[in-house]
Structure 1
């Protein structure tokens, strides 16, 4: 299954992203508003430079099965930027996808961040200093986070054949690399 293949082969990138964002501080309640602004700003730049490219690379079949219209996150994170009084910025480098399978791999990174973001939003909402924070991006699916992730994984695992695993992994690595270097 491609979802397991991706999880195994992107673990080092996932760990690097957690380190970059000081994720351990979220759970020991030392995560600050400045830390949160950094994570929102970086994710904003990732979405700004990837979301349209991902969606435009996916055929109608994937668009329907993945319910892409329900997965648009850029407007949500732009609301977070505004509420945190952060300015829209542009990334220092470009992000490109070669094909539909790379787009699915990049989408794996974004959907995975949404899954983790739900946990982050719940934890930070109990942390001092986050009373007035609206978690538009991290709370985007609300109680549907689990079903949306499950749907995404099922579509990946049923639609992607083994000969395309390397392209899907390439897309995931490209977006993780972009995310880790965008600051």
Structure 2
């Protein structure tokens, strides 16, 4: 299953992202609003430079099966930027996906961040200093987070053939690399 292959082969990137964003501070309640602004600003740049490219690379089959219209996150994170008084920025890096498989790999990173973001939003909502934060991006699927992730993984595992795993992994690594270097 490609979802397990991706999880195993991107764990070092995932760990690097958690380190970059000081994720351990979220759970010991020392995460600050400045830390949150960094994570939102960086994820904004990732979405700004990848979301449309990913969605445009996917065939109608994936558009329907993955309910892409319900997965758009850029408008949500733009609301977060506004509520945090952060300026829209552009990235100094560029990202491109060679094909549909790479786009699916990149989408794996974004959907995974949504799954983790739901946990982050719940934790931070209990942390001092976050009472006024809206969590539009991290709370985007609300109570449907689990089912949206499950749907994404099922479609990926059903539709992606083993000979394409490396292309999907390439897309995931491209987006992780962009995220880790975009500041």
Q: TM-score by structure 2 length?
A: 1.00
Aligned-partner Cα distance in 2 for 1:140–1:164: 30
| Aligned twin of 2:21 | 21
Distance 2:143 2:95 in 1: 31
Q: Shift of the alpha carbon at 1:181?
A: 0.1
TM-superposed deviation, 1:88: 0.1
Structure 1 runs, 4 residues or longer, greater than 2 Å off: none
- Distance (whole Å) between structure 2 residues aligned to residue 182 and residue 123 of structure 1: 26
Unaligned runs of 5+ in 1: none
**For residues 127-178 of structure 1, what are the alpha-carbon distances to aligned partners after superposition, in whole Å with 9 as ceiling and x for unaligned?**
0000000000000000000000000000000000000000000000000000
SS of the residue corresponding to residue 87 of structure 1 reads: coil
Q: How does 1:89-108 map onto structure 2 within 5 Å?
A: 89-108=89-108
- Is 1:84–2:84 an aligned residue pair? yes
CA–CA separation in structure 2 for the residues paired with 1:27 and 1:120: 9
Aligned length in residues: 183
Partner of 1:47: 47
- The residue number in structure 1 matching 2:67 is 67
Q: Which residue is 2:163 aligned to?
A: 163
Residue 94 of structure 1 deviates from its aligned partner by 0.4
The gaps in structure 2 that reach 5 residues or longer are none
Alpha-carbon separation, structure 2, partners of 1:95 and 1:75: 20
Q: Distance in 2 between matches of 1:26 and 1:92?
A: 28
RMSD: 0.2
Distance, in Å, in 1 between the alignment partners of 2:41 and 2:17 is 14
How far apart, CA to CA, are the structure 2 residues paired with 1:179 and 1:93? 10
Q: How many Å separate the matches in 1 of 2:96 and 2:69?
A: 22
1:110 shift after superposition: 0.1
Provide the residue aligned with 2:34 in structure 1: 34
Paired with 1:93 and 1:47, the residues of 2 have a C-alpha distance of 13
Deviations 1:92-141 (A, max 9, x none): 01010000000000000000000000000000000000000000000000
1:95 and 1:89 map into 2 onto residues whose CA distance is 16
